[in-house]
Structure 1
Amino acid sequence: MNNKIRVIVSGAGGRMGKEVVKLVLQDEELELAAAIDRSSKDIDAGRLVGLEECGVIVSSDLEAALANAAGDVMVDFTTPQSVYANTALAVKYGVRPVIGTTGFTPEQIAELDKQCKEQGIGGLIAPNFSIGAILLMRFAAQASKYFPHLEIIEYHGDQKLDAPSGTAIKTAEMISEVRQELRQGNPEEEETIEGSRGGYYNGFRIHSVRLPGVFAQEEVVFGGYGQSLKIRHDSYERAGYMPGVKMGVQKVMEYTGMIYGFEHFIE
């Protein structure tokens, strides 16, 4: 009897998508049901990621795969422009979505939660699958109780489409759950160059750095009387996210509804 979780990878030709395909092909508890990518279609998924042929040919038709590939879970690392439609489509066909793409609004998340519950399936939207990044968020939220003056600085490569990152937004949300809004800085300050102070969120600022050669880092800087505190996480390669992706794939088989944030799985 085959007890493997059958995974459909959406965005299989992207940098994160390729890592997910490798994970699924090399893990004894997972099985590749389909691989979807618009620019890498008609190639064997194993060859696409530098492994032996696996017999799964990359396709550009996500709906056909969801309808016919008998997938249990869809992992999506695509773009903010397409991810909501992809997720809703997966839920429509009863395939549990595990989403690493950012760009959802709170209203969209609430609607997807409703759809998942109607279908009786679980789903996960995770701005970051890194266990280290999740710990940063938790530590930052805890620290903000004692250091309410703070700023977030996040660093990514220059090809990232959204700013601030989903990780920074999630960090800000977790901090705001335990910290009352406090407008920081001099009330009479003025920006001589627009945007110099970063994006405003619940009284504090978020700064997005986009440079070639940078992978993914986030730093939360706290200031207090006569002291400061910095909490920082650095990611060096995409493979570091894969243990979290696998955990997400396994966990969505166990519950109903859409969960927002990988931190719910870290005790």
Structure 2
Amino acid sequence: MAAFSSQFHCTIYHISHDIKARRFVSCSVNPSQGNIKVIVNGAAKEIGRAAVLAVTKARGMEVAGAVDSHFVGEDIGKVCDMEEPMEIPIMNDLTMVLGSISQSKARGVVLDFTDPDTVYDNVKQATAFGMRSVVHVPRIKLETVSALSAFCEKATMGCLIAPTLSIGSILLQQAAISASFHYKNVEIVESRPNPTDFPSTDANQIANNLSNLGQIYNREDISTDVRARGQVLGEDGVRVHSMVLPGLPSSTTVYFSRPGEVYSVKHDITDVQSLMPGLIMAVRKVVNLKNLVYGLEKFL
């Protein structure tokens, strides 16, 4: 197990009142110089825990803070089932953690795994403390992206919004775009092991990418309103079929066809660990950005 150079010193204060007692945690950080300091916002989530483990193993970066509303006060190393504690408690106050890290004057990145309603304020806070952000939050509204883009441009501070962190998913999308110039019929079939918002972010992004190419697909069937034929995304005839099948991996397949030929590209995700190479790439890239970039594919 790698040694951790960050030291997180915390003091817990108890202030008694007539009605209830409140508990405050004050922290300070003395991180080593040179490494990228990473704060994981949403650290108790599955992807947050995976991110903590991935960052500790990556060269040139280290976990410097953990934020979540769950397991507050517990050591993030313990929550991630590490053999030894990291001496970094989970806190529910992003501003306090940012303030502690910013004192080191080191390069810092906030990994945001929260939700669409808090992303704008989170990125603004990180920027105010001189830290970049990598945002992986489903269903971010376009208005939020536009507002953040304008804010980052004015602040000359980088931010990466990544609808997917899967390099395989990005490669599938690139292959689908290349194939779309040669086929006039295309449908997307996806499966997920658990109920979620459908069509998925991946399916929506693939459909949007294909629709932006100016082609009309499935002309013979574009007006069919039979539900069993799936949902048409946009006005260009790209259909998507979404299935929930427990036990299956998260899977996306894009089928192209013409008379006498079918071409398909498929991508499966069986574990959140598959997202970590993309995440580490995002951390390394975002520290040099001075504006907002949408999509990890810009760096492939």
Q: Does the 8 A contact of 2:58 with 2:280 survive in 1? A: no
| Aligned match of 2:290 | 256
- Choose which of 157, 160, 170 in structure 1 pairs with 2:193: 157
Q: Which runs of 4+ in 1 moved over 4 A?
A: none
Range moving further from structure 2, 257-266 or 104-113: 104-113
Q: For the residues of structure 1 that align with 2:246 and 2:281, how far apart are their CA atoms?
A: 30
Alignment partner of 1:138: what SS?
Answer: helix
Range moving further from structure 2, 170-179 or 118-127: 170-179
Q: Does the 8 A contact of 1:100 with 1:127 survive in 2? A: yes
- Choose which of 47, 63, 67 in structure 1 pairs with 2:95: 63
- Choose which of 53, 75, 91 in structure 2 pairs with 1:44: 75
2:272 maps to 1:238: yes
- Provide the aligned length of Structure 1 versus Structure 2: 263
1:174, distance to aligned residue in structure 2 (A): 2.3
Q: Does the 8 A contact of 1:144 with 1:179 survive in 2? A: no
Q: For the residues of structure 2 that align with 1:126 and 1:159, how far apart are their CA atoms?
A: 22
Amino acid at match of 1:2: Q
| Aligned match of 1:133 | 169
- Choose which of 129, 134, 146 in structure 1 pairs with 2:182: 146
TM-score with structure 2 setting the length: 0.80
| Aligned match of 1:97 | 133
Structure 2 counterparts to residues 78-89 of structure 1, below 5 A: 78-89=114-125
The higher radius of gyration belongs to: 2
Q: For the residues of structure 2 that align with 1:264 and 1:206, how far apart are their CA atoms?
A: 25
2:50 maps to 1:14: no
| Aligned match of 1:176 | 211
The 1:157/1:97 distance shift into structure 2, 3 A limit, reads farther
- Choose which of 216, 225, 249 in structure 2 pairs with 1:190: 225
Q: For the residues of structure 1 that align with 2:98 and 2:244, how far apart are their CA atoms?
A: 35
Alignment partner of 1:140: what SS?
Answer: helix
| Aligned match of 2:24 | none
Q: For the residues of structure 1 that align with 2:137 and 2:187, how far apart are their CA atoms?
A: 24
Alignment partner of 1:212: what SS?
Answer: coil
Unaligned runs of 5+ in 2: 1-31
Q: For the residues of structure 1 that align with 2:198 and 2:119, how far apart are their CA atoms?
A: 16
Q: Does the 8 A contact of 1:91 with 1:115 survive in 2? A: no
The 1:40/1:109 distance shift into structure 2, 3 A limit, reads same
Alignment partner of 1:69: what SS?
Answer: helix
1:187, distance to aligned residue in structure 2 (A): 5.4
1:205, distance to aligned residue in structure 2 (A): 1.5
Alignment partner of 1:3: what SS?
Answer: coil
2:146 maps to 1:110: yes
Name the structure with the higher strand share.
2
- Choose which of 38, 55, 60 in structure 2 pairs with 1:24: 55
Q: For the residues of structure 2 that align with 1:179 and 1:6, how far apart are their CA atoms?
A: 43
1:93, distance to aligned residue in structure 2 (A): 3.6
Q: Residues 227-247 of structure 1: CA distance to partner in whole angstroms, max 9, x if unpaired?
A: 111110111211111111011
Q: For the residues of structure 1 that align with 2:286 and 2:86, how far apart are their CA atoms?
A: 25
Range moving further from structure 2, 144-153 or 210-219: 210-219
Alignment partner of 1:178: what SS?
Answer: coil
Alignment partner of 1:222: what SS?
Answer: strand
Q: Does the 8 A contact of 1:42 with 1:59 survive in 2? A: yes
Q: Does the 8 A contact of 1:151 with 1:222 survive in 2? A: yes
Unaligned runs of 5+ in 1: none
Q: Residues 92-146 of structure 1: CA distance to partner in whole angstroms, max 9, x if unpaired?
A: 4432111121212222212111111222211111121121111100000000011
Amino acid at match of 1:177: N
- Choose which of 86, 89, 95 in structure 2 pairs with 1:54: 86
Q: Residues 148-205 of structure 1: CA distance to partner in whole angstroms, max 9, x if unpaired?
A: 3211222223253x322222222223222334244644356332xx575224223211
Amino acid at match of 1:95: M
Q: Residues 35-80 of structure 1: CA distance to partner in whole angstroms, max 9, x if unpaired?
A: 1111121110111101111111001112322333327111122334
- Choose which of 178, 197, 202 in structure 2 pairs with 1:167: 202
Q: For the residues of structure 1 that align with 2:183 and 2:136, how far apart are their CA atoms?
A: 30
| Aligned match of 2:109 | 73
Q: Kindly, what percent of the aligned residue pairs are identical?
A: 31
